[in-house]
Amino acid sequence: MNQLQNFTKGLIKENPVYILLLGLCPALGVTTSAINGLGMGLATTFVLLGSNIVVSLIKDLIPAKVRIPSFIVIIASFVTIVQLTMEAYMPDLFAALGLFIPLIVVNCLVLGRAEAFASKNTTLSSIVDALGMGLGFALALVLLGGLREILGSYSLFGHKFIPGDGMLVFVLAPGAFIGMAYLIVLFNFLKKKTS
């Protein structure tokens, strides 16, 4: 039961974006569409999962003085894998996400989970935590990207369901802040309901 609670906490109770307010830069920057949010969320989940596994396996071998730099090197290795894979097999998504893919290396969520959780827990617990937090991050980005896409262009995942242009403000940067504000309110309401 503890592993299940550990997994589900990242979805609503401790959602990285809407409750913990981590990873806001990519959340605001890439979520012009639901597909961009999904791509960034899954890329971050992969990096989080890989780095948590490696950190939990070698935590006793890393000297305390070089702990954080070691974590950054581990995270950067997984980001490189994601970046090269996306560039080779998903060039359109890679172009849309642009600079935000290499910035996963310094995402507070990924480094924070490596430091606060994976370096102090078992590999299984670290996997469950990474999946819960990563999927919570992906959910947050898909929700924001979907909201902006629906209101901004009357489409979802690129499929137009109402003819017309939509509300331009949601396609632009202010739309990210407006959508984020409403989703933060919604998640805080859901958190209080489930507590």
**pLDDT class of 107 with cuts at 50, 70, 90:** confident
Q: What is the mean pLDDT of residues 40-63?
A: 94
Q: Percent of the chain scored above 90 by pLDDT?
A: 49
Q: How far apart are CA 14 and CA 17, in angstroms?
A: 9
Question: How high is the pLDDT of residue 50?
Answer: 96
* Residues 44/104, Cβ–Cβ less than 8 Å: yes
Q: Is the pTM value of this prediction over 0.85?
A: yes
Domain boundaries in the chain?
A: 2-190
* Residues 8/133, Cβ–Cβ less than 8 Å: no
User: If you search the block for the tokens 């990242």, which residue do you land on?
Assistant: 10
Taking 60 as the threshold, does the pLDDT of residue 113 lie above it? yes
C-beta neighbour count of 3 within 10 angstroms = 13
Q: For 133-177, how does the pLDDT look when each residue is reduced to its tens digit (9 = 90+)? A: 999 999 999 999 999 999 988 889 888 888 888 888 898 888 999
* Residues 41/139, Cβ–Cβ less than 8 Å: yes
Q: What is the mean pLDDT of residues 103-111?
A: 88
Output DSSP code: residue 195.
Answer: -
